[in-house]
Each structure stands twice: as C-alpha cells, then as structure tokens.
C-alpha cells in the first residue's frame, strides 16, 4: 500500500486526485492512502435539499456521492483511502 502525505491541498484538487487514484486502483494499481488537509467546505450529496444548504456564505461543493450534506473543516488531517468497492 502506498501512503502519500500531501499536506495542505485545495479541496477541488484533493477531490480530483481522489477520483483519479480511485480509477487507477480499480484498474489494478496498488492501494493508496492520501493524507491531506483542505480548507473548510460543505459538501452536498445527492439527497441534500435546498433548505439544508448553509445560508451564511459558506462554500458548498456539489458532489456525486449519495447522502446529505457534510461539513469538512480545516484542522485535523483527513485520510482518504480511494479503494474499489468489494
């Protein structure tokens, strides 16, 4: 398993990297864990209703995952293991 320590990465860059790495792992590449930190952002899943979105000017990123909204704040690092589903 490869461990990548990336430090602070913009959310959009981290999301794009996670998608690329996931595709590589699905295609047979070695498993990868991404350790990183990004700015505070609210991610809105497919079930996020308009009234569930923040109204205080917080950044909202629509993502393709299921579920509702999730706040991901700066501070503690995030570990993202983009692995294929069993």
Whether 47 is covered by a domain: the verdict is yes
pLDDT digits (tens, 9 = 90+) for 60-81: 988 877 788 887 776 665 565 6
Structural domain total, the chain = 1
Which residue, 58, 68, 61, 52, is CA-closest to 11?
61
pTM of the full structure? 0.70
State the DSSP H helix or E strand holding residue 42, giving kind and residue range, or none if neither: strand 41-44
**Contact predicate 52/23, CB 8 Å:** no
- C-alpha 53: how far from its chain's center? 18
Q: What is the CATH number of the domain that holds 61?
A: 3.30.930.10
Which residues of the chain carry a pLDDT beneath 70? 74-86
What SS3 class is residue 2?
A: strand
Whether 85 is covered by a domain: the verdict is no
């Amino acid at each position: 398993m490869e461990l990548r320590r990336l430090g602070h990465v913009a959310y959009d860059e981290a999301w794009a990297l996670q998608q690329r790495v996931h595709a590589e792992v699905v295609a047979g590449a070695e498993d990868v864990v991404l350790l990183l930190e990004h700015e505070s952002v609210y991610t809105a899943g497919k079930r996020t209703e308009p009234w569930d979105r923040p109204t205080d000017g917080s950044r909202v990123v629509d993502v393709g995952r299921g579920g509702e909204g999730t706040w991901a704040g700066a501070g503690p690092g995030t570990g993202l293991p983009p692995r294929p589903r069993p």
